[in-house]
């Protein structure tokens, strides 16, 4: 219990620190005194702080938290530490929606809507296919993988008949892009992610039991099929909102839950809380890095999470004595 409180406090402290650091760094460097008087500040500085930087910081934190929490739960219910928020086909659907939006020339405002609709489309397909059979882990994974292949083939088909510049801008979006952050979008994503995480916490003990397999779960009084349905829909809505607002950011959803599980075990209540906080910190730092390192050009944040996360993971893997990823 003591260890958990310590981890929780350090993560919250780190999150606050990350917020401050990310607020200061950017194309325009904001000094501490300017920051402290941000409320009275007028004109351009006020706009940069309140309309651009804060929504983006909060969006990056929400997306990081949402992806890490979804990853933690999906790894649990699919009983596979290699699962991630995109395993069940949601990224394929979102990418399909985004591709359509870009190719049709629908503006930046329409893209999240299209991506979210695409995500819902693939989730509904996966749900329907899995429901046709007994709603189980294996039918979910199978239909998710099939849907992913189907959508990526369709996307390639669209690419092959589209102009190069449209392909390029879709590809950049696909690698993760938080630059469309603004207050309204951030608020919507906050609604999905925070409500979703609450639902996941509500079912955390069921997830603990589902890791023992559907048969044993039934013997411990858990209705596996209906728990799976609720958890699948919840993680899908969280992931869908994350992907629609910021593209397909990899690595956060797979590596953060791994890391936290290694630190404090597989019980999902703590795992979801700690993963959310760690995911928020990680993605916010990665995004700050992505938008400042070669300013004025912005790197896709997915590239940064991949490189930073990959290097960090390798070092951790080599240093840790008892790493087993479980």
Partner 1 sequence: MNLLDIKNLSCGYDGKEIIKNISFSVNKGAFLGILGPNGAGKTTLFKALAKFLKPMNGGIIFQGENTAGISAGNLAKKVAVLPQVLDVPFSFTIEEFVLLGRHPHLKKLEIPKKKDYAIVENAMAKLDIDYLRHRKLKDLSGGERQRALIAQALAQEPELLLLDEPVNHLDIKHQIEILDLLKDLNSAGLTVIIILHDLNLASEYCDNLLLLNDGRIHSSGTAESVLKYEILEEVYKTVLIVEKNPLSGKPYILLVSKFTKEKRKRENL
Tokens encoding 82: 């290699």
DSSP reduced 3-state for 179: coil
Q: Judged by CB, which is closer to partner 1: 170, or 211?
A: 211
| Closer residue to partner 1 in complex, CB, 120/222 | 222
> 221: buried, middle or exposed (CB in 10 Å: 19+, 13-18, 0-12)?
exposed
21 vs 212 by CB, closer to partner 1: 212
In the complex, the smallest distance separating the C-beta of residue 110 from partner 1, rounded to whole angstroms, is 40
Q: Residue 27 or residue 213: which is nearer to partner 1 going by CB?
A: 213
Handedness of CA 247, 248, 250, 254 (dihedral sign): positive
Task: Of 120, 244, 268, 128, give the one whose Cα is nearest residue 186.
Answer: 244
Residues that bind partner 1 (CB under 8 A): 76, 79-81, 202, 205, 208-209, 211-213, 215-216, 218-223, 261, 265-267, 324, 326
Contacts of 21-30 spanning 24+ positions with Cβ under 8 A = 21/285, 21/288, 22/53, 22/57, 22/60, 22/284, 22/285, 22/287, 22/288, 23/49, 23/53, 23/54, 23/57, 25/288, 25/292, 26/53, 26/288, 26/291, 26/292, 26/295, 27/291, 27/292, 27/295, 27/296
Please say whether the beta carbons of 29 and 160 come within 8 A.
no
**CB 223 → partner 1: shortest distance, Å?**
6
> For residues 97 and 266, which CB has a smaller minimum distance to partner 1 in the complex?
266
Q: Give exposure, 24-34, as e/b (b: 16+ Cβ within 10 Å).
A: ebbeeebeeeb
Minimum CB distance to partner 1, residue 20 (Å): 34
**CB 138 → partner 1: shortest distance, Å?**
14
Shortest distance (Å) from residue 126 CB to partner 1? 22
- Least CB distance from residue 199 to partner 1, whole Å? 12
What minimum distance in Å lies between the beta carbon of 198 and partner 1? 11
Within 10 Å of residue 144's Cβ, how many Cβ atoms? 25
Nearer to partner 1, 141 or 286 (CB): 141
Mapped onto helix, strand or coil, the DSSP state of residue 39 is: coil
Considering the complex, state which of residue 124 and residue 226 has its C-beta at the smaller distance from partner 1: 226
């Amino acid at each position: 219990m003591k260890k958990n409180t310590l981890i929780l406090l350090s993560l919250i402290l780190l999150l606050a620190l990350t917020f401050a650091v990310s607020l200061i760094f950017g194309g325009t460097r904001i000094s501490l005194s300017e920051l402290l008087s941000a409320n009275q500040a007028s004109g351009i500085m006020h706009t940069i702080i309140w309309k651009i930087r804060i929504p983006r910081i909060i969006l990056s934190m929400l997306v990081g938290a949402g992806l890490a929490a979804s990853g933690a739960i999906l790894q649990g219910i699919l009983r596979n530490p290699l699962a991630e928020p995109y395993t069940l086909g949601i990224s394929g659907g979102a990418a399909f929606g985004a591709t359509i939006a870009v190719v049709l020339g629908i503006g930046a405002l329409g893209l999240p809507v299209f991506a979210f609709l695409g995500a819902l489309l693939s989730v509904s397909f996966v749900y329907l296919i899995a429901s046709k059979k007994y709603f189980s882990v294996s039918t979910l994974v199978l239909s998710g993988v099939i849907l992913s292949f189907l959508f990526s083939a369709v996307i390639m088909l669209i690419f092959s008949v589209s102009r190069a510049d449209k392909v390029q801008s879709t590809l950049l979006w696909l690698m993760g892009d938080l630059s469309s952050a603004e207050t309204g979008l951030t608020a919507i994503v906050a609604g999905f992610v925070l409500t979703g995480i609450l639902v996941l916490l509500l079912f955390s003990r069921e997830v603990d039991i589902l890791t023992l397999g559907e048969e044993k779960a039934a013997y411990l009084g858990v209705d596996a099929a209906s728990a799976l349905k609720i958890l699948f829909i919840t993680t899908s809505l969280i992931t869908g909102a994350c992907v629609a607002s910021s593209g397909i950011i990899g690595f956060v959803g797979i590596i953060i839950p791994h890391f936290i599980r290694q630190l404090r075990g597989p019980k999902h209540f703590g795992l979801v809380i700690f993963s959310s906080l760690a995911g928020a910190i990680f993605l916010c730092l990665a995004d700050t890095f992505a938008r400042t390192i070669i300013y004025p050009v912005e790197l896709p944040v997915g590239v940064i999470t991949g490189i930073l996360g990959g290097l960090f993971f390798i070092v951790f893997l080599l240093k840790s004595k008892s790493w087993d990823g479980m």
